Structure 1
């Protein structure tokens, strides 16, 4: 083993041990991620490195980037912590608490997705963004990344939302708050995936448009699961606006929206 490879192993094992210390036990981590305990111990001691697939699973579970796990330990941040609600008596905070059988069901949806909806700002266009779903502190959280180049002015508009998933009445609720605009919220309600279409989730999205005014809108939405081998850079590069019949879109996405689909936009008062 080269000196550089040995250093990467040491960095990774140290970072992994620090992250595991934030969880109830190593056994809980293995169970949650779905890894063999004996093999996981080799990761912790630096005797072995995970495959690319398992490395991505660990990154999604701890909500960190691959580069952070392989960096010197002093530069590795702790996993993101969701807002605490245990001491909050509000009805909304209580509603976000995970039900006993909810976590195992929602874990099935952890991964990265292309998120497609009808844009209220650019009528007749489908906007493609990225949604990451991951587990942290025994909650299922989301991270939304949007990037659009305005076809008229050429300016790039970005949006970022952090959220949490809950499963209620057989529906998946994704409740999000903007990371850049503190008064901006969004919600997506999804149907659970059927076995024959496990790579796609459909439902409705509700939010606030950008232009010509910040008005509320709703749109049908479809999520397509990305391959585990696909990098986040590739996924973000695919973000943008597409015509409903664009061959750059997945055929199922094109069929889902059709040619005449439009969002529901509230009139400006």
Structure 2
């Protein structure tokens, strides 16, 4: 494919992405892209630098090469993309054989599927509450999930500084849910969550604990309280992803039931390696 065609494809595809925002200005502000340069991209005058393409791909959870697709193919791939289906887990027969409970959890979790806000005390921004987004779904009879975390920069701009995506499997055993996943970009972390099922339907909250290793230079193991707040029966959407952020414990957007569970006396985060 020649450069002229690449310019046209990227221009059309960037215009499509920008249309998911209220304005091109908001798109550039949120992604920290120079507006004058953006105008040249959508006018098919310049191709974005590789670091700009990488930034756009990370934000929209797509592959950088997809921006070069023909507009019709890009739109179809973007709108039908399934962020809950990592390529490396499409079959995973070995995992199903290793954990027989995985293969039977799909039906057991039918009443708990959907999109959740996931709240727990942050290991990166200590003293803050991390609100990420988790989508529980069933594929090939197994219960799976994807969790997306977004950490804003601390400069007051509200721009995302870090994004982490975790893919995993759910095991329903008795009245307990076991969620185990791995981080799909850096591939250097596994986390485990244990929650108790609620007898009430529809599900509103799932309470439990979360264990992982802090994404810091010290790599400390830690465990903290966790709450999943059911927000939608639909698939994961970009609108859901915009809710992922870090909050002060007294933020009014945190439901009071969650604030009480996470922040009441005795609900401290436990860190490994401390006296």
Q: TM-score scaled by structure 1?
A: 0.62
Q: What is the 5 A alignment of 1:59-70? A: none
Contact 1:244 1:259 in 2 (8 A): no
Establish whether residue 264 from structure 1 lines up as the match of residue 270 from structure 2.
yes
Deviation at residue 196 of structure 1 after TM alignment: 6.2
Establish whether residue 156 from structure 1 lines up as the match of residue 161 from structure 2.
yes
Which of the numbers 194, 199, 211 marks the counterpart of 1:194? 199
Which of the numbers 111, 114, 121 marks the counterpart of 1:111? 114
Aligned Cα root-mean-square deviation (Å): 3.5
Deviation at residue 168 of structure 1 after TM alignment: 2.2
Change (3 A) 1:101 1:259: closer
**SS of structure 2 residue aligned to 1:172:** strand
Which of the numbers 212, 216, 228 marks the counterpart of 1:223? 228
Deviation at residue 93 of structure 1 after TM alignment: 5.2
Change (3 A) 1:84 1:237: closer
Which of the numbers 135, 139, 142 marks the counterpart of 2:138? 135
Q: Which moved more, 1:221-230 or 1:201-210?
A: 221-230
Q: How many residues align?
A: 198
**SS of structure 2 residue aligned to 1:226:** strand
Tell me what 2:66 maps to: none
**SS of structure 2 residue aligned to 1:108:** helix
Deviation at residue 264 of structure 1 after TM alignment: 1.1
**SS of structure 2 residue aligned to 1:103:** helix
Contact 1:244 1:254 in 2 (8 A): yes
Deviation at residue 246 of structure 1 after TM alignment: 1.3
Deviation at residue 153 of structure 1 after TM alignment: 9.2
Structure 1 distance, partners of 2:216, 2:231, is 29
Change (3 A) 1:186 1:99: closer
Runs of at least 5 residues in structure 1 that lack an aligned partner in the other structure: 1-67
Tell me what 1:122 maps to: 125
Contact 1:114 1:128 in 2 (8 A): yes
Establish whether residue 235 from structure 1 lines up as the match of residue 240 from structure 2.
yes
Tell me what 1:254 maps to: 259
Structure 1 distance, partners of 2:236, 2:144, is 19
Deviation at residue 136 of structure 1 after TM alignment: 0.6
Q: What is the 5 A alignment of 1:40-55? A: none
Contact 2:105 2:170 in 1 (8 A): no
Contact 2:114 2:137 in 1 (8 A): yes
Structure 2 distance, partners of 1:85, 1:229, is 25
Establish whether residue 214 from structure 1 lines up as the match of residue 231 from structure 2.
no
Deviation at residue 149 of structure 1 after TM alignment: 1.2
Tell me what 1:145 maps to: 148
Structure 1 distance, partners of 2:241, 2:104, is 33
**SS of structure 2 residue aligned to 1:252:** helix
